[in-house]
Structures are given as structure tokens and as C-alpha cells.
Structure 1
Amino acid sequence: MSMADSFRRIRSAYAGGEKRPLAGYLASLTSYAALIGVATAVGRRRGVRLPERFPAGDVVLLSVATHKASRLLTKSSVTSVLRAPFTRYDSAAGEAEVNETVRAEGGRHAVGELVTCPFCSGVWVAGALTAGRVLAPRATGLVMTALTAVAASDWLHLGYDRVKRSAAGS
């Protein structure tokens, strides 16, 4: 039995009659692993040593920056142009965000899921920012700080609007 036949049997048994883009998911995982491998090779070639540990403040900065970047990439109205080849606009989803449906099939469907899911893209964003923190710490730190500032600004805007609506209702 060929590898392709084996994969088709596995996909059929897994999907239960549904169209699930397992080949696209495999390509996505392979791409992620390849990018991590490239980052590792670049780091080794440069003689970069991994930090013994990351300070708690860096972990918080990374977390908030990852959250904001993944929301910007997957939900922002402005970045919908990047998702448009894979999605269809459904509706507004609150402050400057949209709901979209994945419209492609196969590998493009897998990409569509990645670019519309902040949880899925968060893994890629965190991986990129972590690699950047090791390979280009100053530039990546600046980007993470800016993303964290935007996230804090968003939360302040939402809080301000809530207070304003509450005061208007009094």
C-alpha cells in the first residue's frame, strides 16, 4: 500500500464523511516546523545562545503582544484584505473586528482556518516573536512593546466607552 493510499484511508476514517483538509493541516504543521528549524539553524550559525530563562515581565509582554497580533491578523477589519482569498465576510463583530467564514477547500481551507482563528494563529505569532526575541532581541522587543501598548489602548477605549454609556443611561 502506498503512502498516499494510507493517508486517504486515515483521512476517510478520521473525517467520517465530512470534508476535513488534513493534507492542508499537515502542510501547515510542516511549514511551522520548517520555520522553527530555519530559526534554530540561523541561531546556531550566529552562535546565539538561548537564554537560561525569560523574566516574568518578558513573558507578560510576549503574551499580550501575541494576543494583540493574533487578533489583528485574524479579526481586524483592516487586515481582512489578507484573509479575503480564503474567507467570506459575514458580519461586523464589535469594535473594528469582523466575523468571516472560511470559503476555500483543501490546503486553502486549512490556511483559511489559520488566518481566521486567533487561537490557531497565536501559536505562529508566539513562535515568531519568541524566535525574534532570541535572534533580534532589540527589534522584537520594540515590536512587542508597541503591540502591548495597542492592546492596552484597546482596553482603555472599551472601558471608556462602557463608562460613557453607563453615564448616559443614568
Structure 2
Amino acid sequence: MTTDDAQYDERGEVPLAGYAALASVFATSVGTYAVVARRRGVRLPRELPPWDVALLGTATYKVSRLLTRDKITSFLRAPFTRRADEGEAGEVMDEPRGTGMRRAVGDLMACPFCTSAWVATALMCSYAASPRLTRLVGGGFGALTVADWLQYAWTWTQRTADG
């Protein structure tokens, strides 16, 4: 922990250097994509229809939940997080572990809101390069989101009927 970290967070638990490194990876990745895409002749879509925004938003939501809350993706999170609790509908709640960069990655991988920025960016880059493929993938994840909500509605209906 550096003195600056302690000034930011009295407990010294916020890995500012790790966050800076992750933000740098994010910015560098987007910049590299932009340069490579430009050199390969990828043209940005003239418009982004509201339907595509909704589709990509729904897909972003679902992929973020899969990465941060799904049991089956625990192997991705395990080096950076530990199981803290069981959530609803088979989801799990992980908490970050370690210090420094490990903690920073754990914070990212345990937070669906944090992960969604990375997922949305990946989907938008994919959309710029291949809108049809991205719509297909987004549609699949969107269908999963609708199925989840129908599962929740069914469970709620059963609980309400059972009293």
C-alpha cells in the first residue's frame, strides 16, 4: 500500500495502482482495436438503431451476469475471488481477494456493473466490424435474458398461488 492509497482509503483496501493498470489495458485495447480496424477498412455504422442499442444492452446485461455470477464461470473468477454466498436462482456471490492487481481484477470480476463496461465495449467493437454476427450473438444472449425473466415470473406466480 502506498501513502496515496492510504489517503484515498483509510483502510488501505482500494488497489488504485491495479485500477489504473486495468483502465490502461481497457484504453489501450480500445485504441488498438480502432487502429487495426481502421487499417483493415472497417467502417463505422452510419447509425445505431434503438433496437440494436436495446439488443446490445440486453446482451451486455446477460454476459456480465454470466461472467460475474454464474457457477459455471467460477473457474475464471477463482484466482481473483472467493465464494462469499449463494445468490438467487443459482447465482453465486463472490468477493475479491488478495491485494494489488489481484484485488483489482477481483473487484472487476465480482461486479456485474463493472464488468458490463468491458462487455459493452467488446460488443460495440464487434458490432462495428460485423453487425450481423453481433446481432445474432446479442439475440442469443437477449433470449437468455428473456428466459431468465420468465423463470422469475413463473417462480413468483407459483409462490403467489401457493400463498
Classify the TM-score, shorter chain: over 0.9
Structure 1 unaligned blocks of 5 or more: 1-7
Of the three residues 64, 69, 72, the one matched with 1:70 is 64
The amino acid of 2:122's aligned partner reads: A
SS of equivalent to 1:78: helix
Whole-Å separation in 2 of the counterparts to 1:118 and 1:78: 15
Distance apart, 1:20 and its partner CA: 1.8
**CA shift digits 1:4-41 (9 cap, x unpaired):** xxxx4533432335232111101100000111012101
Q: Kindly tell me the number of residue pairs found equivalent between the two proteins.
A: 163
Structure 2 unaligned blocks of 5 or more: none
Whole-Å separation in 2 of the counterparts to 1:136 and 1:59: 15
Whole-Å separation in 1 of the counterparts to 2:132 and 2:46: 18
1:162 counterpart residue number: 156
Of the three residues 50, 70, 73, the one matched with 2:44 is 50
Identity %: 43
Whole-Å separation in 2 of the counterparts to 1:91 and 1:143: 30
SS of equivalent to 2:90: coil
1:18 counterpart residue number: 12
1:87 counterpart residue number: 81
1:5 counterpart residue number: none
The amino acid of 2:159's aligned partner reads: R
Let me know the Cα RMSD of the aligned residues.
1.5
Which is greater in Rg? 1
- Divergent runs of 4+, >6 A: none
1:121 and 2:126 matched: no
Whole-Å separation in 1 of the counterparts to 2:13 and 2:90: 31
1:142 and 2:136 matched: yes
The amino acid of 1:10's aligned partner reads: D
CA contact (8 A) 2:43 2:129 kept: no
TM-score when normalising by structure 2: 0.94
Distance apart, 1:136 and its partner CA: 2.1
